[in-house]
Chain A
Amino acid sequence: MDIGELKKQSDISYDIAVAKRNALEKTHARLVVVYNEHIFRADVETINLVKTLSEALTSPLYVLDTNNNPVEISEPKEFLKKLIERNQEAISSYHQMSKTFEKRGD
């Protein structure tokens, strides 16, 4: 492989790395969800916490929002549904984008 081809591959790898980082940041922004006038992240930690609490306790539940303020959740199932929907919307979009990265790298 000549140096020109290596340079070309390096440029492509750089472009893909930038695009991937931006796509991840886009996903993080999309994971932010407002519920009951408070802000949450629809991430693994929040989903697992709400699912575990809702299985172990009777409602209402109490969780912290992104600013560490306590929030009463009177409808845990509704909240969990919203978290899961937003999580999968964001991650599936990231998944679609990652397919385009693979094509660019081929």
Chain B
Amino acid sequence: MTKGVLLFCFDTPDFQYHKILEKCVALIKKNLRLQITVVTDFETFKNIKPLGFVHYKFIEPELGNKKHGLEWRNVDRHMAYELSPYDTTLVMDIDYFPFTDNLSQFLDTGYDFLISKDAHDLTNRNSFDTKRSSMIDMVWATVFVFKKGKKAKRIFNMVKYVKDYYAYFLDLYRIRDRRFRNDYAFAIALEQANGMITYDTMPMKLPTLPPDCRVLQMDEQGLAWQYNDQVNYTREQDVHVLNKEVANV
């Protein structure tokens, strides 16, 4: 049984995501000690510094999605099943920095698909616990684990179906955000594929820094951030950083 991490990384005209990838890969190698496959395009690949033993898969990212008016190349996550060379795969956003080995144990479960429903705001503002207007629980597609087989394949097929009829499903579940978000696509697909009842989750809140926090310093142990006039830090705790300027730290 092979195990590994699958990452998606595409530079855009506005952000050099490959710099974030380089930081993430170093932490995966140090803490998770798993094989790594990066899904990218040739333009991004040319910018990535040598990262040692890392596999690459090249695709042309689907364009057209935007976030705050800027190009947002996030639409290809539904292809993770086909693109992963592993029997059990941990799919992670490249801005999720694994400062611990906590995630690696989830590749040793008997579950076919695991995802988290909760995030922890590291600034203590509970900014991810906003009032829910949609009819279903949301998930964080930032980190998920799947084991190749009929059940996982069915979930990914459903994600593709949801993606094709995305506007319809947003209306069906009263989701107001009209951008394509993997979080919503996976939440809808899991709801549909699991008989509209319940599904298995990872019992952890993803520690997350909101986009208005500026990362001041980062090393292999943790990072420090500034929010307004407050400076704080965390060590040996995974962190999902939403401010893309972390690329330049």
Contact = CB atoms under 8 A, between A and B. Distances in A.
A69 B105 CA distance: 18
A33 B102 CA distance: 9
Interface stretch (A20-28, A53-61, A73-81): A20-28
B207 A25 contact: yes
Contacts of B203: 32, 39, 41, 66
Contacts, number: 69
Contacts of A62: none
B110 interface: yes
A17 B230 CA distance: 12
Contact of B109 (A14, A17, A38): A38
A14 B125 CA distance: 12
Q: How many residues of B sit at the interface, in one of the four size bands?
A: 20 to 34
B106 A15 contact: no
A29 B204 contact: yes
Interface of A is mostly: helix
Given A15-B230, A21-B124, A34 B105 contact: yes
Contact of A15 (B100, B204, B232): B232
Contact of B207 (A15, A29, A38, A67): A29
User: Which has the most chain B C-beta neighbours within 10 Å: A19, A21, A28, A39?
Assistant: A39
B9 to A, nearest CB: 25
A85 interface: no
Nearest to B233: A19
Contacts of B122: 18, 22
B214 interface: no
Contacts of B120: 22, 25
A22 B105 CA distance: 22
11 contacts: A11-B229, A18-B122, A18-B232, A19-B232, A19-B234, A22-B120, A26-B234, A26-B237, A29-B207, A30-B102, A38-B109
Question: Lowest 6 A-B CB distances belong to which pairs?
Answer: A37-B110, A34-B105, A66-B203, A26-B237, A18-B124, A67-B200
Interface of B: 100, 102, 105-106, 108-111, 120, 122-124, 200-205, 207, 229-232, 234, 236-238
